[in-house]
């Protein structure tokens, strides 16, 4: 590679990093070394994805380097560090997230429901200080308006976290509605798992079919023994049962109740009820009717002046959406996910707005002298 091309590549990397971190160049070049090592207690691994900052690794056994990792303690408390090559260390330690914007700061997993709450924090934003442009680096693991959050089902982590306009939406599993791509995901072992189905405790008898639930389900719901093997969850042998389609485990973990997408109620409300009429429902057993926010993607994100780029949008079943920016006209009236080719003559920020949520994407012009 000649010197001109090397300089061009380096400059573009800085431009892209600047877009991703809203001008925080120090977030790319100044990293804080976490005072932690990965070990057997680091029981979370895999990757999450953000359109703004790319991959987030939860364990150095996945990405190399380190050592680092994220772990869940027996009581559900989350600690440790994840890594992003674009913004550096993301801390889940209570000491780093004190003073969070609202609610309980320390991140944790409710080991009864699987709900993940609290905050994480990008340490490079802290290191940038006055140069952070007002960004505090906090990432919310659950919230409302719209409703969102990370959830653990079995050993699979899924759902969405929100890191403000800098980090944007973070998907924990490629099967998340509206995520696409993949396959990727975050998974747990040991304390980072939550029983996805009600269980009867104690040693599995020789005749495993005689294992009965501690609390019987409603008589109109089939309660099936789905695993007669020694599953040794948490070191205790247990029989596993599951609810029929359209039913989910109650908060106590001992009975089957109708899911939000099968209960006959407009739970959001948005005038639409249950699967398949409510776009927030992926199937009858989905227990959250909330519509996901839209996503907006521009590719490529850095172009020469006068070149074209592809802008695409995913509405997640919503109608009444619009896109502004660049003087372009987009027809979203059909509520169908689509894309369009646009000509770029200047740095342009595009915004998609829907009844539930919004998203932004910016396309940058290659500076004169660095064109192909």
Is residue 139 located within the same domain as residue 252?
no
Q: Is residue 371, in this structure, part of any structural domain at all?
A: no
Q: Is residue 270, in this structure, part of any structural domain at all?
A: no
Strand partners, 303: 365
Angstrom distance (rounded) from CA 33 to CA 90: 11
How many domains, the chain?
Answer: 3
Q: Which residues contact residue 371 at a Cβ distance below 8 angstroms, ignoring those fewer than 6 apart? A: 304
pLDDT of the residue at 189: 83
Phi, then psi, of 96 in degrees rounded to 5: -90, -20
Q: Counting every residue, how long is the chain? A: 372
Gyration radius of the chain's alpha carbons: 23
Q: Rounding to the nearest 10 degrees, give the CA dihedral for residues 186, 44, 119, 315.
A: 0
The residue from 192, 215, 242 where one domain ends is 192
Angstrom distance (rounded) from CA 55 to CA 219: 46
Written as six digits, the tokens of 207 are 């005749």
Q: Is residue 65, in this structure, part of any structural domain at all?
A: yes
The pTM score is: 0.48
Is residue 56 located within the same domain as residue 152?
yes
The residue from 162, 192, 222 where one domain ends is 192
Sign of the dihedral defined by the CA atoms of residues 24, 172, 65, 38, in that order: positive
pLDDT of the residue at 274: 92
Low-confidence ranges of the chain (pLDDT < 70): 1-41, 62-66, 195-244, 252-255, 368-372
Is residue 141 located within the same domain as residue 218?
no
SS3 assignment, position 225: strand
pLDDT of the residue at 130: 78
Of the candidates 20, 15, 86, 52, the one whose C-alpha atom is nearest the C-alpha of residue 304 is: 15
Structural domain that includes position 205: 199-258
Q: Is residue 266, in this structure, part of any structural domain at all?
A: no
pLDDT of the residue at 372: 57
Q: Is residue 356, in this structure, part of any structural domain at all?
A: yes
pLDDT of the residue at 227: 40
Is residue 171 located within the same domain as residue 206?
no
Q: What CATH code is carried by the domain that includes residue 312?
A: 2.60.40.2470
Angstrom distance (rounded) from CA 147 to CA 293: 9
Is residue 80 located within the same domain as residue 188?
yes
Q: Are 86 and 21 in contact (CB under 8 A)?
A: yes
pLDDT of the residue at 229: 38
Q: Is residue 93, in this structure, part of any structural domain at all?
A: yes
Is residue 182 located within the same domain as residue 223?
no
Give the distance from CA 216 to its chain's centroid.
Answer: 35
Is residue 135 located within the same domain as residue 239?
no
Q: Is residue 301, in this structure, part of any structural domain at all?
A: yes
Q: Which residues contact residue 338 at a Cβ distance below 8 angstroms, ignoring those fewer than 6 apart? A: 312, 313, 332
């Amino acid at each position: 590679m000649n010197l001109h091309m090397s300089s061009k590549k380096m400059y573009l990397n800085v431009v892209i990093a600047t877009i991703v971190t809203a001008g925080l160049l120090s977030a790319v070049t100044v990293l804080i070394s976490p005072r932690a090592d990965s070990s057997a207690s680091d029981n979370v691994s895999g990757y999450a994805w953000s359109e703004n900052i790319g991959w987030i690794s939860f364990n150095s056994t996945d990405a190399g380097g380190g050592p680092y990792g994220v772990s869940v303690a027996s009581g559900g408390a989350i600690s440790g560090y994840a890594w992003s090559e674009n913004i550096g260390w993301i801390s889940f330690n209570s000491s780093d997230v004190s003073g969070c914007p609202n609610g309980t700061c320390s991140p944790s997993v409710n080991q009864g429901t699987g709900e993940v709450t609290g905050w994480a924090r990008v340490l490079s934003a802290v290191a940038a200080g006055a140069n952070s442009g007002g960004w505090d680096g906090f990432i919310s693991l659950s919230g409302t308006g719209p409703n969102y959050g990370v959830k653990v089902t079995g050993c699979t982590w899924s759902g969405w976290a929100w890191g403000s306009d800098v980090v944007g939406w973070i998907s924990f599993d490629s099967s998340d509605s509206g995520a696409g791509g993949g396959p990727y995901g975050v998974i747990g072992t040991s304390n980072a798992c939550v029983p996805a189905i009600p269980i009867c405790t104690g040693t599995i008898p020789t005749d495993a079919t005689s294992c009965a639930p501690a609390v019987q389900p409603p008589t109109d719901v089939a309660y099936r023994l789905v695993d007669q093997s020694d599953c040794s969850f948490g070191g205790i042998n247990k029989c596993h049962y599951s609810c029929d389609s359209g039913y989910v485990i109650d908060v106590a973990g001992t009975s089957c109740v109708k899911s939000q997408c099968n209960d006959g109620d407009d739970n959001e409300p948005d005038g639409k009820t249950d699967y398949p009429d409510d776009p927030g429902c992926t199937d009858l057993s989905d227990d959250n009717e909330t519509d996901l926010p839209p996503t907006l993607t521009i590719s490529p994100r850095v172009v020469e002046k006068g070149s074209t780029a592809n802008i695409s949008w995913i509405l997640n079943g919503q109608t009444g959406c619009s896109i502004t920016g660049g003087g372009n006209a987009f027809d979203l009236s059909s509520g169908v996910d689509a894309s369009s080719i646009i000509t770029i003559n200047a740095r342009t920020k595009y915004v998609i707005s829907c009844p539930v949520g919004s998203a932004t994407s910016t396309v940058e012009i290659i500076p004169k002298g660095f064109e192909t």
